[in-house]
Structures are given as C-alpha cells and as structure tokens.
Amino acid sequence: MKTLRLIGTTLLLVVLCLNFTACSDDDDDNPSNPLVGVWQEDDGHEHLRWTFNADGSGSEYLYYDDDSESFTYQFTYTYHSETNVVEINYSDGDTDKYNVTINGNTLTAKNEYGTETTFKKK
C-alpha cells in the first residue's frame, strides 16, 4: 500500500511539473526591441547620441567637447528584426536606413553608402 501511494504521489508530481512547463508561453508575439535605449558614438571631440524609445520615437543628439555646436533632431523609427534594418524618419522629412548589428552593448550601424558607425549603450 505504501509503495502504491509513493508511485501515485510521484506520478502526480511528474504530471504537475509537465503541466507547468507545457503552459509556459514560448511564443514571442511581441519580442522586445533591442534598439530601445541610449546609444552613443564617441569620435574624438564629436559625439553622436541616438535615443530609441519603445513607442517608435527617438532623438539624435550631436555635440562637441568644446561646446561650439550641438544639434538635436527628433525622429520616428521602424526596426525590421528579420533584416536587421532600422529606418529613421526625421521630423524634417529626411529618411535614413541603416543595417544594424547588435552585440551585447555595442551597436554597429552601416548606412547606404557603406559607412559604419559604432555606438555603445549608455
């Protein structure tokens, strides 16, 4: 009788464990956007900062160490995860496309002319 109760309890535990793992949500219907956050490129005395928000908006901020000039541009963007392309639509009507590669805290953006820019996540 004790053996039967032990086998029954063991089977119940196995079924419960399988039930919990079978019910987990493995489907990522809305995968997180790896671009979201602040990315900065430092090239000598010139700094370029991209901020990507989760709602598809963002900003580009360019400034110099000597505070001689700074520029801020607002944009909306679309990230195509299947092709690793980000399309940035600036508020003045300009559009840029970049092939992006994200490796940890490093983002490499290559524009249509082949110029690569490397950003670090802040």
Residues 6+ apart with CB under 8 A from 56: 76, 77, 78
Does residue 11 fall inside a structural domain?
no
Q: pLDDT of 68-112, one tens digit each? A: 789 999 999 999 999 999 999 999 999 999 999 999 999 999 999
Residues 6+ apart with CB under 8 A from 114: none
Residue 14 has pLDDT above 50, yes or no: yes
Find residue 42's DSSP bridge partners. 47
95 part of a folded domain: yes
Could you list the residue range(s) of the whole structural domain that residue 66 is in? 37-121
Position 26 scores a pLDDT of 45
User: For residue 107, what is the domain's CATH number?
Assistant: 2.40.128.50
Residue 1 pLDDT > 70, yes or no? no
pTM of the model: 0.71
- Is there a domain that residue 5 lies in? no
CA angle 104, 41, 45 (to 5 degrees): 150
Q: Which residues contact 96 (CB under 8 A, 6 or more apart)?
A: 87, 88, 90, 111, 112
How many domains does the chain divide into? 1
Q: Do 83 and 100 touch, CB atoms closer than 8 A?
A: no
Residue 75 lies in a domain: yes
For residue 61, the model assigns a pLDDT of 95
Is residue 99, in this structure, part of any structural domain at all? yes
